[in-house]
Amino acid sequence: MKDRVIGQSVPKYDAGPKASGLLQYADDFTLPGMLYGKVFRAKVQAAILLGVRTERAEQLPGVHAVITAKDVPNNNLRARFGQSTDVGGQFEGLYRVLAEKEVRYYGEPIALVAAESPDLAEQACQLIEVDLQPLPGVFDSVGAMEPGSRQVGEKPNNIASHFKIRQGDVDQGFAQADVIVEGTYRVPYQDHAYLEPESGLAWSDDDGTINIRVSSQVIEHFREVAEILNLPHSKVRYLGTWIGGGFGRKEDITVESYLALLAWKTRKPVKLTYTRAESLLYHCKRHPFQMEYKTGATKDGKLVALQARLISDCGAYSALSPWVLLYATVNAAGPYQIPNVKVDSYAVMTNTAITSAFRGFGAPQANFAYESQIQKLAHILGLDPLEFRERNYLQTGEAFATGWIYERPIPLTELAQKAWSGLGPLGSAEGGRKLGRGVAIGMGSYGRLTFLHDTSRSYIKLELDGSAIIRCGVPDVGGGQGHILCQIVAQELGVPLERIKLHITDSQLTPLAGTTTATRQLMMSGNATLKAANELKKRLLIKAGQLLNVPIENLIITLNRIEVESSRKEGVSLVEVINRLSGEGEELFVEAQFNAPFTDIPASEVLQGQTHPDFTFGAYAAEVEVDEQTGQVQINKIVAAFDVGKALNPAIVEGQIEGGCIQGVGYALFEDMAIHNGVIQTPSFAEYLIPTAVDVPDITVILLESGSGVGPYGAKGIGEPPMVGIAPALVNAIEDAVGVRIADLPVTPEKIRMAIAQKPEGKR
């Protein structure tokens, strides 16, 4: 069937139920006799935990359980990365359910309460007493690495992980350079700020199985929860809900280990939904990085050397920090051909909020630094920034800094030019404000690290009336991760979209499809579903060929029918083919598995060769107006251009780019998380400002379809890559407008105003 459904912007499967208010999110579920859970947390950044007294809380009428570390069967887990590959100590960390003997950060969970109402649970928490001996906090990630610094956790020198890139010889490279620029860049914490706070509801079955209905990007966490409870993996079941925004934060365990413990202890259903303040104050953030860069180029505009030192603050427990650091390291030199590269990167533990996965996963941080350096070099060399980039883009068949030779298209020249020209004629600034424009490029990986040996499974069943059922354990964060499987089945098997039923995220009844992280689901579950559909298609065509007496090569599947391609009137209905096969004892169901490209586990901290299945490339251009008196920035226009491989549903693809872009605008300009001595000072959306409808312009999206992706139909992943590139594009535009270049995000009006005031007289 030629592009009938694939490539069309059909409304997605879940859009109708969501728009009518009928779709149930985690907090919308209830059960009779349900209790309410609450987490009691430390109000100190670092301390020895001498004791926890819970008697008064336990005696409060209506309180059914108070749990502390001693009640948790397995309180300390060796944290792995979702699946089972053992990748060595460099990547491991401690996942501690409840504080034990020590407190490492402000807000660390110490006890859990289940009570008959949320108010009672809150009251019970106020009756819990702790004996603490405060310790000096370690709050500065750079200082924390110095000898003599107090060790925050289990890692010597507080270094949770360290990666390197060694390519060529940077000393020789800098010796060849005519121009060398150095810069130190700082990027901040960022909160995911999804609209749905963390939430779940757990209960114990008649046979003691713990069921957890939860908003999670990773239903495979049932294994960790089972280990916490010392239960067989088969006795913990996740029923993932449609997720009200994840962006990486619902990749780590959120409320589910607490829920499981409370349901296991009380044998009653327990609900736990975080307040917005709990979500903002205590959940993981994007890693702040300090990035010291030195980049050299010849006077004819060729990059010759790049040296970088990246330091990320991973907080009190390492969580996914080693992985984020690895991504940042792989991205450190960007999609540029640079013969000599040396990168050293460190994830450092401190007594501050935990940092972990957030859309982009290390790539936006490195991108801000390498693109800032490129812009500075272009200015000094007197070259047009686009032209300077064009002289240095990696070309197909050349190697990334890790030595991985990339054989797919890298259409950055076209993307950046399209984004730039998409801005159209220069506008005029109002009220004496200064107009400026900027452009930047970026790359973002999709698919998990290739040495993790990633797999996904999906199941399709054709019913006797020609309708279809899909079962796939794919968590849906709103990006169409579930819906697109329906479009694939409709495309390949001729089933109308409205006759497809989709089951997702039951860790026992839907085939496991892996995490909705790493921009992997289209490639992984999409390919698994396509593989299953193709197996069914083959069986349908063989039978239809027999019925029509036509070779199967001449047959095509159309809506509800199989037809002879050269004579479309000749054909047979899908229902007839299905029923004939069924009558012969052949039921039409398939479960298929897709395996990502595999590579070996890195032998050392030096990253070499292929690390990811593929990258998505893109460019942003922006026009801003800056008020020199106040430092206020107004964005007039943003144009995004991305090579998406193939847009299977253009509206969904554009939505990912628009949304990622605006999350990047917030990162670049607005989102200023204040942290004082490890304590977050922004507990609500009145202090932590994310973009509203009036803060942002319409975004123009330009899609390029190279067909070169690893996903189905040549599609690339597009969930995370749009976070990359927008911050440097805006900073370049602001510099163009008022002649100051800010190296610390977010670029607040205060920073712009201060930089303008400090500008040497006469310089633009």
Q: Which stretch binds other proteins (CB under 8 A): 56-64, 194-202, 301-309, 573-581?
A: 194-202
Site size for other proteins, by CB under 8 A? 58
Check residue 110 and give left, alpha or beta (phi > 0: left; psi -120 to 50: alpha). Answer: alpha
- Contact between 245 and other proteins by CB under 8 A: the answer reads yes
Q: CA of 121: how far to CAs of 61, 115, 271, 384, in Å?
A: 11, 5, 11, 62
Nearest to other proteins of 278, 563 (CB atom): 278
Provide the CA 740 distance to its chain's centre, in angstroms: 32
Backbone angles phi, psi at 603, to 5 degrees: -80, -20
DSSP string, 247-275: TTTTTS--SHHHHHHHHHHHSS-EEEE--
Q: Which stretch binds other proteins (CB under 8 A): 147-155, 423-431, 594-602, 684-692?
A: 684-692
Q: Tell me which of 37, 93, 362, 691 binds other proteins, using CB under 8 A.
A: 691
Asked if residues 284 and 190 have their Cβ atoms less than 8 Å apart, the reply is no
- Contact between 117 and other proteins by CB under 8 A: the answer reads no
313 C-beta neighbours (distance < 10 Å), count: 26
Contacts of 597 (CB under 8 A, 6+ apart): 447, 450, 610, 613, 710
Q: Tell me which of 95, 189, 222, 242 binds other proteins, using CB under 8 A.
A: 242
Q: Tell me which of 2, 101, 407, 686 binds other proteins, using CB under 8 A.
A: 686
Q: Cβ 194 to other proteins, closest distance in Å?
A: 5
CA distance 569 to 585: 29
Evaluate the CA torsion angle 428, 431, 437, 442 in order and state its sign. Answer: negative
- Report the DSSP pairing between strands 340-349 and 159-167: antiparallel
Q: Which stretch binds other proteins (CB under 8 A): 169-177, 487-495, 566-574, 678-686?
A: 678-686
Q: Tell me which of 207, 603, 694, 763 binds other proteins, using CB under 8 A.
A: 694
Residues in contact with other proteins, shown as a per-residue x/- string from 270 to 289 under the rule CB under 8 A: ---x-xx-------------
Q: Tell me which of 179, 696, 754, 756 binds other proteins, using CB under 8 A.
A: 696
The conformation of residue 241, written as its DSSP 8-state character, comes to: P
Q: Cβ 721 to other proteins, closest distance in Å?
A: 15
Q: Which stretch binds other proteins (CB under 8 A): 284-292, 304-312, 688-696, 755-763?
A: 688-696
What contacts 24+ positions apart, CB below 8 Å, involve 127-131?
127/56, 127/57, 127/60, 128/40, 128/52, 128/53, 128/54, 128/56, 128/57, 128/66, 129/52, 129/53, 129/56, 130/42, 130/49, 130/51, 130/52, 130/53, 131/49, 131/50, 131/51, 131/52, 131/53
Q: Cβ 350 to other proteins, closest distance in Å?
A: 27
Q: Cβ 658 to other proteins, closest distance in Å?
A: 4
Q: Cβ 530 to other proteins, closest distance in Å?
A: 22
Nearest to other proteins of 9, 579 (CB atom): 9
User: Which residues from 632-671 bind other proteins, rule CB under 8 A?
Assistant: 651-652, 654-655, 658-663, 665
- Contact between 24 and other proteins by CB under 8 A: the answer reads yes
Asked if residues 663 and 692 have their Cβ atoms less than 8 Å apart, the reply is no
Residues in contact with other proteins, shown as a per-residue x/- string from 26 to 65 under the rule CB under 8 A: -xx-x-----------------------------------
Residues in contact with other proteins, shown as a per-residue x/- string from 195 to 224 under the rule CB under 8 A: xxx---------------------------
Structure token pair of residue 549: 């007496």
* Interface positions with other proteins (CB under 8 A): 9, 11-12, 14-25, 27-28, 30, 192-197, 242-247, 273, 275-276, 477-479, 651-652, 654-655, 658-663, 665, 684-686, 690-694, 696, 698-699
